[in-house]
């Protein structure tokens, strides 16, 4: 493995192990539900995204960006980040008062980052992936590097569970249910899948759509104002879904999206296969 570029963080990190877990797919949907509660952030999505005509695009693009910045080479991660920054820099939206704003405003980038990483860590742990409090804090510190990629300064980004809780406490007065948030929540619950894929909605809606929403923090569910599964039921369903997904051979699971994990293993060999033994210890 010596001399092999293993990317921005490398295999001996919490991020490398956590992001390979199948529960990340549920966590990604949960994070989009959480992001929708920020009126300006969700306005930027609704006014600039084609998610209604490309139902799977937003989630797969987000998953691919997380994959390449975790498992890609340094150059691949930085190139992907440059593309994202260029898109954000070029786009604008209008808030509820008719004021125009740029999508790369630091407070919006910070909200999206915090909504994502908190959802990733919380949902995957709730699914049964064990991390100590110190490892959770380390994960948030590691993710400061990802925040830098999209244009934030590391010192402005929460680097522990305590700092993240303080951030959410400070931002909550600005969060609310809006017409845009309801549009996104309903889309995530039951996306308008095309063709034969629409028949999968009978399975998707209870197993992913409603479940991912139910895994939001209690305060976020209250802001959305829509019923959620009881906490115990949501946890059981999440753990059952993760157990079922783990029956799929890891190489097959890791091929979606875009095979970032598989390519990282080809570069670094079996020594870098994501597994609990590689988790950094306090």
Does residue 81 lie in a domain region? yes
Does residue 74 lie in a domain region? yes
Does residue 45 lie in a domain region? yes
Question: 139 CB contacts (<8 Å, ≥6 apart)?
Answer: 14, 15, 18, 117, 121, 131
Question: 252 CB contacts (<8 Å, ≥6 apart)?
Answer: none
Average of pLDDT values for 75-89? 95
Task: Write out the H or E segment, with its range, that includes residue 139.
Answer: helix 133-149
Counted domains in the chain = 1
Does residue 124 lie in a domain region? yes
Does residue 5 lie in a domain region? no
Residue 211 to residue 161: CA distance in whole angstroms = 23
Quickly state the pLDDT bin for 55 (edges 50, 70, 90).
low
Give the domain range for residue 142: 14-269
Pick from 60-69, 98-107, 221-230: least confident: 60-69
Q: Give 209-239 pLDDT, tens digit per residue.
A: 999 999 999 999 999 999 999 999 999 999 9
Q: What percent of the chain has pLDDT over 70?
A: 97
Does residue 2 lie in a domain region? no
Does residue 1 lie in a domain region? no
pLDDT at 189 over 60: yes
Q: How far apart are the first and last CA of the chain?
A: 24
Residue 168 to residue 145: CA distance in whole angstroms = 20
Residue 2: predicted pLDDT: 57
Does residue 9 lie in a domain region? no
Q: Give 153-162 pLDDT, tens digit per residue.
A: 999 999 999 9
Question: 63 CB contacts (<8 Å, ≥6 apart)?
Answer: 24, 25, 28, 257
Average of pLDDT values for 2-18? 91
Higher pLDDT, 282 or 263: 263
């Amino acid at each position: 493995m010596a001399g092999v570029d293993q990317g921005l963080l490398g295999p001996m990190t919490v991020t490398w192990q956590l992001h390979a877990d199948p529960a990340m797919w549920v966590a990604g949907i949960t994070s989009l539900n959480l992001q929708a509660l920020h009126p300006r952030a969700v306005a930027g999505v609704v006014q600039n995204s084609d998610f209604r005509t490309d139902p799977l695009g937003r989630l797969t693009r987000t998953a691919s960006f997380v994959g390449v910045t975790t498992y890609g080479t340094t150059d691949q991660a930085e190139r992907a980040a440059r593309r994202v920054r260029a898109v954000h820099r070029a786009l604008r939206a209008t808030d509820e008062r008719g004021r125009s704003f740029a999508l790369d405003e630091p407070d919006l980038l910070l909200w999206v980052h915090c909504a994502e990483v908190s959802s990733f860590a919380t949902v995957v742990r709730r699914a049964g992936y064990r991390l100590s409090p110190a490892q959770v804090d380390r994960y948030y510190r590691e993710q400061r590097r990802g925040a830098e990629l999209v244009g934030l300064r590391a010192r402005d980004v929460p680097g522990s569970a305590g700092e993240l809780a303080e951030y959410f406490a400070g931002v909550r007065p600005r969060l609310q249910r809006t017409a845009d948030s309801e549009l996104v929540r309903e889309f995530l619950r039951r996306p308008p899948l095309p063709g034969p894929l629409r028949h999968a909605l009978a399975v998707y809606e209870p197993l992913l759509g409603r479940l991912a929403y139910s895994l939001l923090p209690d305060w976020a569910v209250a802001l959305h104002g829509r019923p959620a599964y009881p906490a115990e039921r949501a946890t059981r369903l999440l753990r059952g879904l993760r157990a079922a997904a783990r029956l799929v051979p890891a190489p097959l699971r890791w091929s979606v999206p875009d095979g970032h994990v598989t390519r990282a293993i080809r570069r670094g060999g079996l020594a870098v296969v994501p597994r609990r033994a590689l988790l950094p210890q306090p």
